Copies of this chain bind each other. A is one copy, B any other.
Amino acid sequence: MKVTIYDVAKEANVSIATVSNVINKKGRIGEKTRRRVHEAMEKLNYEPNILASALTGKQTKTIGLIIPDLANPFFSELARSIEDRAHELSYNIVICSTDYQEEKENKYISLLKQKRVDGFILASGFENLEKVQELLNEDIPVVIVARDYPNFSINAVALDDYMGGYQAANHLLQLGHKNIGFIALDVYSNRERIRGFKDALKEYQIEPRKDLHFIEDKKQSLVRAGNISAKKYLESGDIPTAIFACNDLLAIGAIQVIRDAGLNVPDDISIVGFDNTNIATIVDPPLTTMSQPIQRMGREVMDLIISIFKGERDDEVRITLVPDLVKRKSTKEL
């Protein structure tokens, strides 16, 4: 049978209240009693039941992390960095992949609410903010990461996507490219990137192509989506000299198709990706890409949500990190 606080109390010849106090370092307890209680806990190998204590209003020390897809390297790396920080702070993370399906998002959220997680970290698409608002209304801490929602008041650790798109385009422009393709998902962050991208073009007085690709079908693999988009460019009759892909997986898909067509990256077509996941260094050629500070994001978002738990924030916080261009071998002067 599981050993409870009662067993410890009996063993130490004190009341359960006293045991509770020594565990939580509350009230004033005599040195001797404290030691007796500790010895009893040791002896019985006592482990407090967090469920029971959570029932009385304390935290569950568990946080829900909602992401689109754990098998996507960007999100698994992000999840890992969040988990690391959580572990340091003695929290656990429940990870939920939504595949951008609202239905899954909703089911996960209500399941985790029932389990009384202390808060949510949201990295999913969430085009529908109702559910999020619901959480906020119920005073459940929510922090957004790697996604941004303008015009929506919420704590967030976000990336400056506009800047990312701008810098990526700038890099290509400086290399002399004028005819640049673009592949993206139809989500807010990617739309921001294209905005930056277009603004950069504008500064060079270059008209963007008419056929900028947004992927609609969110269920297919991103690599395949990259394949398809790149193929369209190759068959368009006006092959771009460079392509900006909104994440590394799309970029890789593009590279594959380009190579299959007998062309070379970067000699014939330059590619720049986004995210700088581990696979960017693995592919051939190593990918020039916009680096998201994944480690930093994980840490910041955990620290942010913890500070909310502690009630240290009544104001809304939005931490914006800037991406960095990492030059590798997939881009080249025209």
Would A259 and B282 count as touching, CB distance under 8 A? no
**Interfacial chain B residues near A76, Cβ < 8 Å:** 70-71, 73, 76, 79
Taking the complex as formed, is A291 at the interface, i.e. its CB lies under 8 A from any CB of chain B?
A: no
Chain B residue nearest in CB terms to A115 = B50
Copies of this polypeptide in the complex: 2
Would A90 and B115 count as touching, CB distance under 8 A? no
**Interfacial chain B residues near A61, Cβ < 8 Å:** 111, 115
> Shortest beta-carbon distance, A217 to chain B, in Å?
18
Would B279 and A259 count as touching, CB distance under 8 A? no
Known: A47-B114, A281-B223. A79 touches B60 (CB 8 A): no
> Shortest beta-carbon distance, A42 to chain B, in Å?
14
**Interfacial chain B residues near A87, Cβ < 8 Å:** 96, 104, 107-108
Measured in the bound complex, the distance between the Cα atoms of B52 and A152 in whole Å is 34
Measured in the bound complex, the distance between the Cα atoms of B259 and A259 in whole Å is 18
Measured in the bound complex, the distance between the Cα atoms of B95 and A70 in whole Å is 11
Taking the complex as formed, is A94 at the interface, i.e. its CB lies under 8 A from any CB of chain B?
A: yes
> Shortest beta-carbon distance, A183 to chain B, in Å?
16
Q: What 0/1 pattern do residues 206 to 240 of A give for CB contact below 8 A with B? A: 00000000000000010100000000000000000
> Shortest beta-carbon distance, A120 to chain B, in Å?
13
Chain B residue nearest in CB terms to A71 = B80
Instruction: Give residues 162-213 of A contacting B (CB, 8 Å).
Output: none
Measured in the bound complex, the distance between the Cα atoms of B115 and A47 in whole Å is 10
Which of B47, B51, B95, B113 meets A83, CB within 8 Å? B95
Taking the complex as formed, is A133 at the interface, i.e. its CB lies under 8 A from any CB of chain B?
A: no
Taking the complex as formed, is A278 at the interface, i.e. its CB lies under 8 A from any CB of chain B?
A: yes
Taking the complex as formed, is A245 at the interface, i.e. its CB lies under 8 A from any CB of chain B?
A: no
> Shortest beta-carbon distance, A65 to chain B, in Å?
9
Measured in the bound complex, the distance between the Cα atoms of B77 and A179 in whole Å is 37
Interface contacts beyond A55-B55, A61-B115: sample of 20 additional A-B pairs, CB < 8 Å, sorted by A = A48-B114, A49-B55, A51-B51, A51-B55, A70-B79, A70-B80, A71-B76, A71-B77, A71-B278, A73-B73, A79-B95, A80-B97, A83-B97, A92-B111, A92-B112, A252-B282, A259-B284, A279-B279, A279-B282, A282-B283
Residues of A within 8 A of B (CB): 47-52, 54-55, 60-62, 69-71, 73, 76-77, 79-80, 83-84, 87, 90, 92-97, 104, 107-108, 110-116, 221, 223, 252, 256, 259, 278-279, 281-284
